[in-house]
Structure formats: structure tokens, C-alpha cells
Amino acid sequence: MREFVKKILFYFLNTVKVNEKVTVSGFSRGLQNVIFEGKNAVPDRCNFSGNIKIGYATTLGYNNQLSGTISIGRFCQFGADVACHATNHPVSTMTTYINKNLFQGELKLLKEENEIVMGNDVWIGHGVIIVGNINIGNGAILAAGSVVTKDVAPYTIVAGVPAKPIGKRFSESIIQEIETLQWWSLSEPELEKIKPLFFKDFKNRDSIYE
């Protein structure tokens, strides 16, 4: 009987729900705190709190945690176990404790409120943690396991604890061309016209049009 109940629960908890904006698989909390732009995907065990915007075609990973004021661009991809924390406990007051068990939770007013702003086409690896007042540029890559506490420039690869730049994806001239093109803002017919550009390898090149 117990195994039967488990199977029933597993079935319902993993039912895929699709609406005009987002596909939700499994059980996630706080979806009412998110504005989805469309063609988004939320897998099992994601948790949202605060004021969150997720751009067109951006897909999240299993067990993502997003809290605070967060704006995510278009065509971003999140790995599993990624956490974005735009809020923090107070550190210069008597205590960091802001739970309701002390002064009925009044100390929550002292919570540090920041903002995380993420550009378009950002790839976030497994287990990345983003904390604080952070801006992440277009095309950035956050390597798996990184703890990001500072801004990340466009098309920069960062890794480590704390995360530090380890390289650029492209030459500066190519970065400028892609930033000017802003392909993530194009319509599907417009994207079809430049489709061959997406299959080019830009290594050791100075222009996307070579």
C-alpha cells in the first residue's frame, strides 16, 4: 500500500503543467512571485521569493533558489542547485537573527535588500551561488561551483570561491559586434535570417561576419 501511495504522489508531483508563458515540472514554490516573459521552463523543487522577472526562453535547473529583487534576461540557462540571493541578514547590528521567534520578527526590517540583474544569454553552471548587489553581463559564463560576489563583465568566464575572471569567450571586436546585433531581441523570422552565424566557431576570429 505504501509503495502504491508513493507512486501516486510521484505521478502528481511530476506532472508537467504548461501555460502560455511557462512549463512547470514537478513541485515548485512561490511561482506567484515571478513574472515570466514566455517559453520559460521551471523543473522540480525551485523556490521563489521576492520580486523576480525571468526573460524570454530562459530555463531554470532542478532545485534553483531565487530570493529578493532579481531580473534575468533572455535565453539564459541555469544548472541544478543554483542559488541567487539578493537579500542578506544584517551584520552590523546586535544580531543577525531575524526570525519571528525574536521580537515577533520585527528585525526583518533590518534585512539587507539588494538587486541582482542578469543580462541575456548567460550560462550558469551547477551549484553556483550569486550573493549581493550583482550585475552580470550578456553572454557571461559562471563556472560550476562558483560563488559570485562581484559584477561579471559581458562574455567573461568566471570561476572559483569567490569567483574571479579566468578568460573572455571572444575577442573584443566580436563581443562588440554581438552586443550591437542583440540577437536575443530579434523575432523568430529575423533569427532565421542570421541562423548561419550561430553555427560558426569564433575561436581565433576577429569578426562574426568572417
**Residues that are catalytic:** 89
> d(Cα 26, Cα 42) in Å, to the nearest integer?
9
Q: Which residue has the cell 515548485?
A: 28
Residues comprising the chain, all counted: 210
Q: Write out the DSSP string of the chain.
A: -HHHHHHHHHHHHT-EEE-SSEEEES--B-GGGEEE-SSEEE-TT-EEEEEEEE-TT-B--TT-EEEEEEEE-SS-EE-TT-EEE-EE--SSSS-S--STTTGGGGGGGG-EE-EEEE-SS-EE-TT-EEESSEEE-TT-EE-TT-EE-S-B-TTEEEETTTTEEEEESS-HHHHHHHHHH-GGGS-HHHHHHTGGGGG---TT-S-TT-
Query: What is each CA distance from 179 to 121, 169, 170, in whole angstroms?
Result: 11, 13, 12
